[in-house]
Amino acid sequence: MIPPPLTDTVTHALARMVDDSQVDRRDPSHSDIEFCIAQCHLNSGDPKSQGQTVGKAKRVRAVLMWAIENSFENGCRFVGQLVAVIRSCGGFRPDSANFVGADPITSLRESMASEGFLLTSDGEIQPVALDSLSGTELTEALATYVRRAQRGVEDAALVVGTGKDLLEAIAAHVLRECWSTANPPQNFPAALGQAFVALDLKTPADAMANGETPQHRLQRALYDAACAVNTLRNKQGTGHGHPWLPTVTPEEARHATQVMGVVGDLLLRTLKQKKGL
Of 97, 127, 157, the residue that ends a domain is 127
The mean pLDDT value for 119-139 works out to 88
Do 17 and 41 share a structural domain? yes
Which residues form the domain of 25?
8-127
Do 168 and 120 share a structural domain? no
The mean pLDDT value for 261-271 works out to 97
Q: What pLDDT shows up at residue 239?
A: 47
Of 106, 127, 148, the residue that ends a domain is 127
The Cβ of residue 121 has, within 10 Å, a number of other Cβ atoms equal to: 9
Condensed to tens digits (0 to 9), the pLDDT of residues 3-38 reads 898 999 999 999 999 998 877 889 999 999 999 999
Q: Give the percent of the chain with pLDDT over 90.
A: 71
Which pTM was predicted? 0.76
Q: Which residue has the higher pLDDT, 254 or 22?
A: 254
Do 167 and 33 share a structural domain? no
Condensed to tens digits (0 to 9), the pLDDT of residues 145-184 reads 898 889 887 777 877 556 578 999 999 999 999 999 999 9
Which of 10-19, 185-194, 231-240, 267-276 shows the lowest per-residue confidence on average (mean pLDDT)? Answer: 231-240
Do 157 and 76 share a structural domain? no
Domain count, the chain: 2
160 assigned to some structural domain = yes
Of 107, 127, 147, the residue that ends a domain is 127
